[in-house]
Amino acid sequence: MNTTEPGTLFLVVGASGSGKDSVITAARARLGAYPRGTHFVFPRRSITRPGNAPGEDHIPLTPEEFRRAREAGRFCLAWEAHGLSYGIGREITADLDAGRSVVVNVSRTIIPEAEELFPRVVVLLIETDPAAIRERLRQRGRETTAEIERRVQRATAMVVSARILVRIDNRGPLEEAAAACTRALLRNRRPAATTTGRRTAVAAATE
């Protein structure tokens, strides 16, 4: 009988251009200074984007490869956003069962599904202002001006709802947001109270 307490699944959400990947990367580096930092896993996402595309380190798949992987049950979570398919490998279930916490960048749309599938889910919402979103999207160079404006508009209209939600302010220096994210990860690795059935809604947007 396995008596290990399950790990926490941290879902990082936020508008495109809110700085999710940068905050996650910086927080991951900071966790190395903590003894409990080894209890966190940061899996790569499978994305139907070329492997040489700028941005995060991901597992590149063609749309057909992604479809076959999804049908074969290789993903525990999968979603579509902005013409791309994203998947989180089923391997994270073994990490969670072993008591390790998993941190993944996801779409807000899969939060309810994740909360049904996993016993411990904490949502980290990365927040910033529209001007910062617009500038970050412009700098990464993947969207047209019209696409950027549509994403900025969505960032002011969507709502994030979760049983346990922690807001991370990324309006200032990245190190401040990374420090706040690190604290949230360490403090919520073992949620102190059961919150089943209670949901928190926050005005925001995500992928």
* Residues 15-63: tens digit of each pLDDT: 877 889 999 999 999 998 887 667 899 999 999 988 776 667 899 999 9
Strands (E), 20-61: 40-41, 46-47, 59-60
Asked if pLDDT for residue 85 goes beyond 90, the answer is: yes
| Least confident window among 31-35, 38-42, 136-140, 179-183 | 136-140
Please state the domain extents for the chain.
9-41+100-203, 44-90
pLDDT at 176: 96
DSSP 95: H
User: Hey, do 9-41+100-203 and 44-90 end up sharing a CATH topology, with the first three levels equal?
Assistant: no
- Looking up tokens 């580096």 gives 29
CATH value of 9-41+100-203 in 3.40.50.300, 4.10.490.10, 3.40.50.1000, 3.10.450.50? 3.40.50.300
Angle between helices 20-31 and 174-188 (to 10 degrees): 60
Asked if pLDDT for residue 160 goes beyond 90, the answer is: no
Of 40 and 130, more confident: 40
CATH value of 44-90 in 3.30.470.20, 3.30.63.10, 3.30.70.330, 3.40.50.200? 3.30.63.10
Phi and psi for 97 in degrees, rounded to 5? -65, -30
Secondary structure (3-state) at 9: strand
Q: How far apart are CA 54 and CA 49, in angstroms?
A: 10
Distances (CA, A) of 65 to 83, 86, 178: 15, 12, 34
Whether the pTM exceeds 0.95: the reply is no
Q: How far apart are CA 103 and CA 64, in angstroms?
A: 27
Distances (CA, A) of 109 to 3, 21, 65, 158: 32, 18, 23, 11
Is residue 4 very low, low, confident or very high in pLDDT (cuts 50, 70, 90)? confident
pLDDT at 158: 65
| Least confident window among 127-141, 166-180, 192-206 | 192-206
Q: Which H or E run contains 169?
A: strand 165-169
> Which among 98, 111, 93, 95 is positioned nearest to 159, based on CA atoms?
111
